[in-house]
Chain A
Amino acid sequence: MRLEPIANPGLARRIGLPVLALAMTVVCGSLLALTAGADPFDTLRLIVVGAVGSKFALLETLNRATPLIFTGLAVAVAFRARLWNIGAEAQLYAGAIITVLIGTGATGLPPLPLLVVTGLAAMFAGAAILMPPVLLKTRLGVDEVVTTLLLNFIMMLFVSYLLEGPLKDPAGMGWPKSPALAKEARLPRIVDGLRLHWGFALAILSAIAVWVIQTRTTLGYEIRAVGLNAKAAKFAGIPVNGVLVKTALLSGGLAALAGYSEVAGLKGHLSLDLSPGFGYTGIIVAMLALLNPLGVIPSAIFVAGIFVGANSMSRAANVPTYIADMLLAIALLFMVLAILLTRYRVKRG
Chain B
Amino acid sequence: MSEIFDILLTASFWAATIRIASPLIFATLGELICERAGVLNLGIEGIMVIGAFTGWVAVYMGAPLWWGVMAAMLAGMAFGLLHATLTVPFGLSQHVVGLGVTLLATSTSYFTYRLMLPQVTSPPKIEPFQPLPIPGLSDIPLLGEALFSQTALTYAAFVLALVVALVLYRTPLGLALRAVGENPAAAAAQGLSVTGLRMGAVIVGSGLMAVGGSFLTLSAFSSFFFEMVNGRGWICIALVVFGAWRPGKAVLGAILFAAFDALQVRLQQTGIGAIVPYQVFLMLPFILSILALVIMSRRAEVPAALMQPFNKGER
- Give me the interface of A with B, judged by CB distance under 8 Å: 1-4, 32, 35-36, 84, 86, 136, 140-143, 145-147, 149-151, 153-154, 157-158, 160-161, 164-165, 280, 283-284, 287, 318, 320, 322-323, 325-326, 328-330, 332-333, 336-337, 340, 347
Contact = CB atoms under 8 A, between A and B. Distances in A.
Interface in B54-100: 82, 86, 89-93, 95-97, 99-100
A329 B96 contact: no
Nearest to B285: A153
A149 B40 CA distance: 15
A165 B278 CA distance: 11
Contact of B114 (A149, A160, A322, A333): A322
Given A35-B115, A322-B110, A326-B107, A147 B293 contact: yes
Q: Give the interface centre of A142, A165, A284, A328 by most chain B CB atoms within 10 Å.
A: A142
B96 A157 contact: no
A182 B81 CA distance: 53
A318 B111 contact: no
B289 A146 contact: yes
Given A153-B234, A280-B103, A320-B114, 6 more contacts: A32-B111, A150-B290, A323-B107, A329-B101, A333-B104, A340-B91
A318 B118 contact: yes
Contact of A329 (B103, B290, B298): B103
Contacts of B100: 329, 332-333, 336
A-B pairs, 9 with minimum CB distance: A325-B107, A320-B114, A329-B104, A2-B313, A322-B111, A329-B103, A161-B279, A157-B279, A322-B110
Contacts of A35: 115
Nearest to B110: A322
Contact of A280 (B99, B110, B294): B99
Contacts of A283: 96, 99
Nearest to A314: B114
B287 interface: yes
Contacts of B219: none
Contact of A158 (B115, B237, B283): B283
For chain B, what secondary structure do more than half of its interface residues adopt (helix, strand, loop), or is it mixed? helix
Contact of B286 (A1, A150, A320): A150
B297 interface: yes
A4 B89 CA distance: 12
A337 B290 contact: no
A154 B96 contact: no
A3 B100 CA distance: 22
Nearest to A35: B115
Interface in B230-251: 231, 234-235, 237-238, 241
Contact of A146 (B106, B114, B234, B311): B234
Nearest to A37: B115
Contacts of B287: 154
Contacts of B234: 146, 149-150, 153
Given A4-B313, A35-B115, A136-B294, A333 B97 contact: yes
A164 B282 CA distance: 15
B21 interface: no
Contact of B277 (A86, A165, A280, A330): A165
Contacts of B107: 322-323, 325-326, 329
A151 B238 CA distance: 13
Contacts, number: 123
B180 interface: no
A283 B115 CA distance: 27
Interface string B101-142: 101101110110011001000000000000000000000000
Contact of B279 (A158, A329, A347): A158
17 contacts: A2-B312, A4-B313, A145-B42, A147-B290, A153-B286, A157-B282, A283-B99, A323-B107, A325-B103, A325-B107, A329-B100, A332-B103, A333-B82, A333-B97, A337-B86, A337-B90, A340-B90
Interface residues of B, number: 46
Contact of B96 (A136, A143, A146, A332): A332
B104 A326 contact: yes
A303 to B, nearest CB: 12
A2 B193 CA distance: 13
A143 B293 contact: yes
A336 B290 contact: no
A35 B116 CA distance: 11
A340 B89 CA distance: 12
A149 B89 CA distance: 27
B280 interface: yes
Nearest to B105: A329
Contacts of A36: 115
Contacts of A154: 283, 286-287
A140 to B, nearest CB: 4
Contact of A3 (B82, B90, B241, B294): B90
A21 to B, nearest CB: 12
A35 B99 CA distance: 25
A229 to B, nearest CB: 13
Contact of B313 (A145, A151, A336, A347): A347
Given A3-B311, A146-B289, A333-B97, A140 B294 contact: yes
Q: Give the interface centre of B95, B103, B277, B293 by most chain A CB atoms within 10 Å.
A: B103
A161 B286 CA distance: 16
Contacts of B283: 153-154, 157-158
Contacts of B93: 336
Contacts of B89: 1
Contacts of A161: 277, 279-280
